[in-house]
Amino acid sequence: MKYRWEVINRLVEKYGYASYLEVGVKDGVCFSQIKCTLRTGIDIKPLFIRRRVVAMSSDEFFSVTRSKYDIIFIDGDHREEQVDRDIQNALKHLAPGGTIVMHDCNPPKEEYANAEREENQLLWSGTAYRSFLKLRGTPGNLKMCVVDIDWGCGIIQRGKQDMADIPDDYTWDDFDANRKKWLNLISVKEFQRRYR
């Protein structure tokens, strides 16, 4: 396993998921790989035009849809404020027993993890990881981990977890020193064992 769609398809297969929503379709590389019967994608400016790919913002889409999805993949706007909203909206539109998968939860270097993409910056993860960390440090009914693959694929499901003790004013160095614990980072082999 090397790619985010392999994580998503493993979950689809394990749980028998039929409906999939992708936030941030872009060029359709991930979207076209997903093995769900019903696939819906949203993107402000999709480069991949297919039936069931909608050109609108995630905020607009979530405000008008009444649909529930078995699995939702968040990989749109990578800035913390928007990712926070995408997660909360995804939780409202998640079917019982469903899963949210997030991309870019384990950025390898600080230079990739800034709020704004710099001009001509090829590698960029934004601050999506900070949104994941907020939930890891908040009491609630969620079970979370990050698969150490493709810059980190976060998995969010209903359930219980040991909360991470994450200070509000953490720095990149704090994150880097504590990423395994704070993200509940697991290897690909561990993911494959857990989600057979």
- CATH number of 136's domain: 3.40.50.150
- Reported as a pLDDT band with limits 50, 70 and 90, residue 81 is very high
Domain presence at residue 155:
yes
Q: What pLDDT sits at residue 49? A: 78
**Average confidence (pLDDT) over 9-29:** 96
Lookup: tokens for 20: 């999939």
Top-confidence residue, 51 or 143: 143
Whether 154 maps to a domain, the answer reads yes
> Going by DSSP bridges, is the β-strand pair 153-158/94-102 parallel, antiparallel, or unpaired?
antiparallel
Q: What is the pLDDT of residue 120?
A: 76
Q: What is the pLDDT of residue 118?
A: 76
- Report percent pLDDT > 90 for the chain: 80
Is residue 13 domain-resident?
yes
What pLDDT score does 59 carry?
Answer: 97
The pLDDT score that the predictor gives to residue 121 is 67
For residues 142-165, give the mean pLDDT. Answer: 95
pLDDT-derived band at 51, boundaries 50, 70, 90: confident
Q: Which domain holds residue 177?
A: 4-191
The β-bridge partners of 73 are 22, 101
| pLDDT exceeds cutoff 70 at 151 | yes
* Separation CA 105–CA 116 (nearest Å): 16
Q: How confident is the model at residue 42 (pLDDT cuts 50, 70, 90)?
A: very high
What separation, in Å, do the N-terminal and C-terminal C-alpha atoms of the chain show? 13
CB of 103 within 8 A of CB of 128? yes
Residue 54 has pLDDT above 70, yes or no: yes
Within a domain: 196 = no
Q: How many domains, in total, are found in the chain?
A: 1
> For residue 36, what pLDDT band results from cuts at 50, 70 and 90?
very high
For Cα atoms 176, 136, 107, give the angle at the middle one, nearest 5 degrees: 35
- Quote the pLDDT of residue 122: 76
Arithmetic mean of pLDDT over the chain: 93
* Residue in the block written with tokens 């929503």: 21
Residue 147 lies in a domain: yes
Instruction: Please write the tens of the pLDDT for every residue from 82-115.
Output: 999 999 999 999 999 999 999 999 999 988 888 7
CA 23, 29, 30, 32 torsion: positive or negative?
positive
